[in-house]
Amino acid sequence: MASKYFGTDGIRGTVGKAPITPDFMLKLGWAAGKALGDQAGSKVLIGKDTRISGYMFESALEAGFSAAGVDTLLLGPLPTPAVSYLTRTFSARAGVVISASHNPFADNGVKFFGADGRKLSDDVEAEIERLIDVPLECVHPAGLGRATRINDAAGRYIEFCKSTFGSEANLNGLRIVVDCAHGAAYKVGPAVFRELGAEVIPIGDQPDGLNINKEVGSTYPAALQAAVKLHRADLGVALDGDADRVLMVDHEGGLVDGDQLLFVIAEHLRARGQFSGGVVGTLMTNLGLEQALAARAIPFARANVGDRYVVAEMVRRGWMLGGETSGHVVCGHATGTGDGLVTALQTVAAVRYSGKTLAELSRGYDACPQVLVNVRIAEKVDLDEHAAIHAAVAQAELAMGESGRVLLRPSGTEPLIRVMVEAQNADAATSHAHAIADVVRDTLSE
Active-site residue list: 101
Cβ within 8 Å of residue 149, ≥6 positions away: 73, 74, 76
- Kind and range of the H or E run holding 82: helix 80-89
Tell me how far apart the alpha carbons of residues 407 and 6 are, in angstroms, rounded to a whole number. 22
Beta strands 279-282; 300-303: pairing state: parallel
- For residue 63, the surrounding DSSP H or E stretch is helix 53-67
What's the gap between Cα 192 and its chain centre?
A: 19
CA distance 32 to 49: 20
The CB density around residue 311, as the number of other CB atoms within 10 Å, is 21
- CA dist 381 and 416 (Å) reads 10
**Order of strands across the sheet that contains 107-114:** 11-14, 107-114, 94-98, 43-48, 71-77, 147-149
Strand partners, 10: 7
Helix (H), strand (E), coil (C) string for 272-307: CCCCCCCEEEECCCCHHHHHHHHHCCCCEEEECCCH
Nearest partner of 127 among 28, 11, 35, 4, judged by Cα: 35
Q: Which of 441, 391, 395 is nearest to 417 (CA)?
A: 441
